[in-house]
Amino acid sequence: MIPKDHPRYKSLIIRERLSKCAMSGIVSLEGLTAHGRGEAFDYLIGEKTTESALIAEKIAANLLILANKPVISVNGNTCALAAEAIAELQKITGAYVEVNLFHRTEERVLKISNFLEGKGVSVLKGNVVKYLPLSHDRALCFTEGIPKADVVLVPLEDGDRCQALVEMGKTVITIDLNPLSRTARCARLTIVDELTRALPNIIRYAKEIKERNNTTEIEEFDNFYFLQNAIDNMITRLNCALD
Ligand code: PTJ
């Protein structure tokens, strides 16, 4: 029982949720360590959405709404942390949701799909093909999903898969607290923010854009700006840490 007035309440609740999902097989054990890395970067960034991340989140909403065929790729961590938000984002953007796992077993794919469906997500099913030129299971995609997508949202992604998607001409949006990761550096748009903060912002912007019916042409943007800004932010915080 975590008391609500605990200074790290939110973080502890999230850890508890991930642990439960690890025990039920939704999150891989490796996913727990990946979360720890994310937490460390979140600490450095101040555990809040920066101004530049918010701009990236607005651009992401626009990209998803303007897409012909947006796809959201969901792994174990994303499912455990944000199934409800994925359902909402799917409803607004019309995106296809496909389960794509690094530590893939058919049992996990099924568990994650069932969990997502329980939260209102419509999950892609059907044929799976080895679509990406990778030597591991993340090469596998649902035929009606990523192969036909123009814009792909891949939160907490592996670098080689992100790179393969970019090289195949997909517009790749990622959410990754580590601005130095290969994924962060090779995506078209990197949101350096925590998943459970980033998704509600993207959803809010997507709703605004739809309500006002004003999908604007995406202005040119430089992903390097978002990465550099996140790094600068961390450096500033580190320099002031003991002030
Ligand atoms: O469920 P599976 O089998 O597909 O495995 C999923 C993981 C996450 C284990 C797998 O994709 C993996 O190993 O990922 P990486 O290479 O560790 O990359 C995950 C990235 O996400 C790291 O850069 C973390 O810093 C970052 N990250 C972790 N938690 C969060 C996060 N970024 C945003 N929000 C988080 N909550």
DSSP conformational letter for 123: B
Please tell me the predicted confidence (pLDDT) of residue 50: 97
| pLDDT, position 216 | 66
pLDDT at 64 over 80: yes
Residue located nearest, by CA, to atom 19 of ligand 1:
156
Q: What is the mean pLDDT of residues 202-228?
A: 87
Whether 221 lines ligand 1, by a CB cut-off of 6 Å, is: no
* Mean pLDDT, residues 52-80: 97
Query: Does the Cβ of 109 fall within 6 Å of ligand 1?
Result: no
Region 150-161: mean pLDDT is: 96
CA 119–ligand 1 middle distance (angstroms):
21
Residues 6+ apart with CB under 8 A from 46: 233, 237
What's residue 74's pLDDT?
98
Domain ranges of the chain: 51-214+222-234
pLDDT computed for residue 214 by the predictor = 65
Ligand 1 site, residue 187, Cβ cutoff 6 A: no
Contact 86, 206 (CB under 8 A): no
Rounded to the nearest angstrom, the distance between the alpha carbon of 226 and the centre of ligand 1 is: 19
pTM tops 0.85, yes or no: yes
The CATH class, in words, for 51-214+222-234 is alpha beta
Beta strands in 12-122 (DSSP E): 70-74, 96-99
- Under the banding of pLDDT at 50, 70 and 90, the label for residue 242 is confident
Of 91, 97, 83, 202, nearest in space to 152 by CA: 97
Average pLDDT estimate for 170-188: 97
Which has more pLDDT, 216 or 181?
Answer: 181
Summarised one tens digit per residue, pLDDT across range 13-45 is 999 999 999 999 999 999 999 999 999 999 999
Measured in Å, residue 122 CA sits from the centre of ligand 1 at 23
State the pLDDT confidence band at 70, using cuts at 50, 70 and 90.
very high
| pLDDT, position 212 | 83
Q: Are 102 and 78 in contact (CB under 8 A)?
A: no
pLDDT band at 99 (very low <50, low <70, confident <90, very high): very high
Alpha-carbon gap, residue 42 to 44, rounded angstroms: 5
158 lines ligand 1 (CB under 6 A): yes
